[in-house]
Amino acid sequence: MKSIDIHAHLVPRSAWRAAEAGREWYGFRHEPGEGVGSFMGNDKRIPFTSPKVRFTPEERIADMDAQGVDVQVVSIHTPFFGYHLDPARGRELAREVNDEIASMTTQWPTRFAGLATLPVQDVKLAIDELERAVTGLGLKGAELDTLVNGENWDEPRFLPLFKAAEALGAVLFFHPQPQHNFMMQRTTRYGLFNSLGVIMEDAIVVAVLIFGGILDACPNLRVCIAHGGGPACFAMGRIDRSWQGMRPEQRTIPRPPSSYQRRLYYDTVVGSEKALRFLLDEVGADRVVLGSDWPFVPWHPSPVAWVQGLKTVTPEEKNQILWRNLEALLKL
């Protein structure tokens, strides 16, 4: 049985080369410490718990083999998006990272596919880089944060980017930053910024894409949400009731929000078999794809073995999740 993982991160080799030379990398500075140390940038620390963040592509492939993963869809580790940078500097970061990812997909085309990062602080630059990444570099789309410097994706200025992605057939993979979400304003204790904060950001972006009319304006847009969309699908009953309670002139979309659930894809990084079974029942097995959050989530023994061992998931559903859906979505 084949397997394709849409959720596999990269800390760029160029960042590690800068660290070895004692230089900053787009304002990020490496600080030695336990294990591989951490980076400081944009007023926050980016710690690492896994030595795999320094793996070469060859070491990465060996780890994929050990985990039974045939193809990784590689995307930048989210704290390095660089949306806070000056637009020209953000474009430089994006181009450097996208070239690195593209070189992996070119050298190992049967093992890696890629998602670009974009300088979305400037929509025109972001569209230009998306076109270059997809048509010039052969990447499959882009990874995006759940908000842009405090702005949600339903701001009208972002619509041309969604239109461009739709026209290119590019997949947009939404993934929030674990150390930079609303939960940090409430508490930094108990690891809630990662366990709850991240998935609430996923749910918010689902709601924003639906209520913002983006899915109506771009009927062929291809979107995947990390971490199973968080609690978005679980909350659709309440979200529908809120929509139904609005006066007609207040409604921004013509149909109940739950009717848009199947317009999106969701990965399997949900934490439990019960949560995955609920997601499958809500959106259908053709909308759920394998994710690992490599290398930040420990899997014993692997994300593939976890899916294969689920008793409540049928063999056909497992085939769809592990490879068929992504093979079709990414046109591999």
Q: 73-125 pLDDT, tens per residue?
A: 999 999 999 999 999 999 999 999 999 999 999 999 999 999 999 999 999 99
pLDDT score at 35: 87
Q: Would you say residue 144 has pLDDT above 80?
A: yes
pLDDT of 278 higher than 80: yes
Taking the model in full, what pTM does it have?
Answer: 0.96
For residue 222, the cross-strand partners are: 171
Q: pLDDT value at position 203? A: 97
* pLDDT, tens digit, 9 for 90 and up, residues 180-225: 777 777 777 887 877 788 999 999 999 999 999 999 999 999 999 9
Is the bond preceding residue 301 a cis peptide, omega within 30 degrees? Answer: yes
Sign (positive/negative) of CA torsion 278, 281, 285, 287? negative
pLDDT-derived band of residue 53, with 50, 70 and 90 as boundaries? very high
Q: How many CA atoms lie within 13 A of 87 on its CB side?
A: 10
Q: What is the CATH number of domain 4-324?
A: 3.20.20.140
Residues 277 and 195: their CA atoms lie apart, in Å, by: 20
Cα 227-183-123 angle, rounded to 5 deg: 70
Taking residues 279-294, report their average pLDDT.
98
Mean pLDDT is lowest, of 3-12, 26-35, 173-182, 216-225, for: 173-182
Query: Of 87, 155, 92, 152, which is closest to residue 124 (Cα–Cα)?
Result: 87
| pLDDT tens-place string over residues 228-265 | 999 999 999 999 999 999 998 899 999 999 999 999 99
